[in-house]
Chains A and B, each alone.
Chain A
Amino acid sequence: MSNLTPYTVIFYIFAAITVFSAAFVVFTRNVIYSAFALLFTFFGAAALYVFLSADFIAVTQVVVYVGGILVLLLFGVMFTNSIMQAKPKSDVLHIVPGTLLLIGMIGAILYTFYTTHSWMPGEAILQGSIVERIGFETMSRYVLPFEMASILLLAALIGAAFLARFDKSTDNK
């Protein structure tokens, strides 16, 4: 522990926030608590993206996940649980195979990662801000996926609005 720099300490703090809040999401029985713990997981993951010098992805993560998906999930929780009457609990099934899968999965992946003798880093590690490079890549090599993503988002938007709209015909039946 001789060369424990502040960088390392901060990394471990964010890693702990991410992992423990993810564990809380999974292991708590209350759906509302899960949703709010997911907030910390997303923020912790965004901080890890900053450590990986992907600052643009980190900001996108905060905007899209925390501002969009999490709010959507909370709306879902509020819609589908009558929180005023009953406790919004979520039951658990297959606990033993699930735990076995959890332990086996972590063990298998970590075994593979750590016994792969040495990952060989490339000669030029990403450093500094990558916003400019993302702009170049988006408009050159990845312009087709970029446009397709816009079409997909439009289709998903229309589809979600169509699926979730208030339907009179089923109510009058």
Chain B
Amino acid sequence: MEQLATIGLNHYLTISAILLSLGLFAVMTRKNAIVILMGVELILNAANINFLAFSKYNGGMQGVMFSLFVIVLAAAEAAIALAIIINIFKIFKSVDVSSIDSLKE
């Protein structure tokens, strides 16, 4: 109960572990490419929570800066991935990743 009542590092690590596993589950089990992208976003958020938690309890700024750059990279990744998915949809008329099996049109 003492552990539960005072918020410490372990609480944040638990949340980020759950988010990471859920994201990995989405990436592994879903066929829709957009939901896979959502899983990747969940994983990146889990990493961010970890960075910020360690940064807070360490007192340094490294984790904060790194999480800022993670957000920047996530934005770039989402834009490129959506462009690729739209191209795939134009060619295959579907975003089902298990049915996309040819490199050439």
Q: Which residues of A contact B (CB under 8 A)?
A: 1-5, 7-8, 11, 15, 18-19, 22-23, 25-26, 31, 34-35, 38, 41-42, 45, 48-49, 51-54, 56-57, 60-61, 64-65, 68-69, 72-73, 75-77, 79-80, 90-95, 97-99, 101-102, 105-106, 109-110, 113-114, 119, 121-126, 130, 133-134, 137-138, 141-142, 145, 149, 152-153, 156-157, 159-161, 163-164, 170
Task: Determine the distance from Cα of A48 to Cα of B86 in the docked complex, in whole angstroms.
Answer: 33
Q: Are B19 and A18 in contact (CB-based, < 8 A)?
A: yes
Chain B: residues with Cβ within 8 Å of the partner, total of 73
Q: Is the CB of B9 within 8 A of A57?
A: no
Task: Kindly provide the distance from the CB of A75 to the nearest chain B CB, expressed in whole angstroms.
Answer: 7
Q: Which residues of B contact A (CB under 8 A)?
A: 1, 4-7, 9-15, 17-26, 28-35, 37-39, 41-42, 45, 48-49, 52-53, 55-61, 64-65, 67-69, 71-80, 82-87, 89-90, 95-96, 98
Given A76-B85, A80-B85, A102-B21, residue A149 in contact with residue B53 (CB < 8 A): no
Closest B residue to A162 by beta carbon equals B83
* With A45-B49, A98-B29: A119-B6 Cβ-Cβ less than 8 Å: no
Asked if A7 and B7 sit within 8 Å, CB to CB, the answer is yes
Residues of B near A45 (CB, < 8 A) are 19, 45, 48-49
Question: Given A45-B45, A54-B64, 10 other A-B contacts at CB below 8 A?
Answer: A5-B5, A19-B19, A22-B18, A54-B67, A64-B71, A91-B96, A92-B29, A99-B25, A101-B21, A156-B76
CA distance A56 to B9 in the complex (A): 20
List 21 contacting pairs A-B, 8 Å CB cutoff, sorted by A: A2-B1, A41-B42, A52-B56, A53-B56, A54-B55, A57-B67, A64-B74, A69-B75, A72-B82, A79-B89, A90-B30, A91-B32, A101-B21, A102-B25, A105-B24, A113-B14, A121-B57, A122-B60, A125-B59, A149-B69, A170-B90
Residues in chain A near residue B14, CB distance under 8 A = 110, 113
Complex: chain B residue closest to A164, CB-CB: B83
Are A48 and B15 CB-contacts (below 8 A) given A90-B30, A105-B20? yes
Contact (Cβ within 8 A) B71 A57: yes
- Kindly provide the distance from the CB of B46 to the nearest chain A CB, expressed in whole angstroms: 9
| Residues of chain B with a CB closer than 8 A to A15's CB | 11, 15
Asked whether B74 lies within 8 Å of A65 as measured between CB atoms, the reply is yes
